[in-house]
Amino acid sequence: VNIAIIGAGFAGLATAWHLLTNSSIKITIFDAKGIGGGASGIAAGLLHPYAGVHSKLNQLGRVGMEAALDLIKVASQALQQPVISNQGILRLALTQEQKIDFAECAQKNADVQWLNSHECQTLFPALTKEPGIWIKEGCAINSALYLQGLWQACQNKGAGLEKITVSSLQQLDNFDVIIVAAGAHALVFPELASYSFSTIKGQILELKWPQELPPLPFVLNSHAYLVMQSPTRCLVGATFERKYQTEAPDLQTAQEEIMPKAIALIPGLQSAKIMGCQAGVRLVTPSRSPLVERIGKKHWVITGLGSKGLLYHAYYAKQLADQVLKES
């Protein structure tokens, strides 16, 4: 069965990998920008089942996490190097509402530990004096590296890549099955015009870590998040912009929105130098659950991963691949 996948982000590559478990499948991936050219390539890589301001266990959070970790292993093996960059996530509770929500999260979930402000500062003395929760199993991956590894694993099973823009699904009519995994740009296809989605631009800053601070040894996440990329570089995110003029990075908006939140977590970041800014667009469905379904005789879609693409991509890609294999 000859299958075309439009999009080489989390959704497209994970779907390709799961389909390739069947040896009669031939996959060609089409991506205008190459591997990880969309939101996936710039994602901060946070992975834990308690995403969101209230830190509630996400729907499918545990199975999503398990499925994602399986694919992370596949990517690491293909590259012969780890793609997890940081293990452990500390979520600081800055507001009264967060303190209540986070304490409840720790009470309900055995893998989450409540830490008082002193215990948090023992983990990293430069933190503001607030309590929080420690999510031991939470981690951050290097997203670009993960995508390279997953692509390498797909390539090892015979997948091909064409770096072109697909302007209509009819262009791929010679394929038996066509899967749209085009992220926020799935909206350009008329076959998806009847669905209602919203788009949210996200920007992320790269900071030069101040010399006077030791490197942060875990992921820090509250109203903003911080993920060390190396002992001297840190990603800080992210913006949630419902109204925006351009998909391109806009440093001023990103700086104004992100830096005060980061400084509220670590006051010593006041002196941090901004080295870069990247932007992507998240596609969100009204239910906030991904859209994974058949949209035509041989057309399928997987999109709407919102801000939890890493948590949900592997699980939903497996569901889609199983369905495609069953019905093709």
Ligand X SMILES: Cc1cc2nc3c(=O)[nH]c(=O)nc-3n(C[C@H](O)[C@H](O)[C@H](O)COP(=O)(O)OP(=O)(O)OC[C@H]3O[C@@H](n4cnc5c(N)ncnc54)[C@H](O)[C@@H]3O)c2cc1C
Q: Looking at residues 63 to 122 of the shown chain, list those that interact with ligand X (rule: CB under 6 A).
A: none
| 44 lies in the site for ligand X, by CB under 6 A | yes
Residue 129 and residue 29: Cα distance in Å, rounded? 48
Q: Tokens 């010593």 map to which residue?
A: 268
Q: Can you say whether the dihedral through the CA atoms of 257, 258, 261, 264 is positive or negative? A: negative
Binding flag, residue 144, ligand X (CB under 6 A): no
Closest distance to ligand X from the beta carbon of 119 (Å): 25
Nearer to ligand X among residue 131 and residue 320 (C-beta): 320
Identified binder of ligand X from the candidate list 4, 16, 40, 291, rule CB under 6 A: 40
Taking contact as CB under 6 A, which single stretch among the options 20-28, 86-94, 101-109, 303-311 is the one that binds ligand X?
Answer: 303-311
Among the listed residues 5, 27, 42, 234, the single contact to ligand X using CB under 6 A: 42
Q: How far is the CB of 70 from ligand X (least distance, A)?
A: 16
| Cα–Cα distance, 318 to 316 (Å, whole number) | 5
Phi and psi angles of residue 113, each rounded to the nearest 5 degrees, phi first: -120, 130
Short-list 73, 10, 68, CA closest to 36:
10
Which CB sits closer to ligand X, 2 or 285?
Answer: 285
Q: How far is the CB of 116 from ligand X (least distance, A)?
A: 27
Rule CB under 6 A: is residue 138 a binding residue for ligand X? no
Rounded to a whole number of angstroms, the minimum distance from the CB of residue 201 to ligand X is 7
Give 272 or 310: the residue with its C-beta nearer to ligand X.
310
Are residues 72 and 142 in contact, defined by beta-carbon separation less than 8 angstroms? Answer: no
How many Cα neighbours within 13 Å face the side chain of 57?
A: 15
In whole angstroms, how far apart are CA 194 and each of 120, 197, 295, 325?
48, 10, 11, 26
Q: Which residues bind ligand X (CB under 6 A)?
A: 6-12, 30-33, 37-40, 42-46, 165-166, 181-185, 202-204, 237-238, 280, 282, 303, 305-311
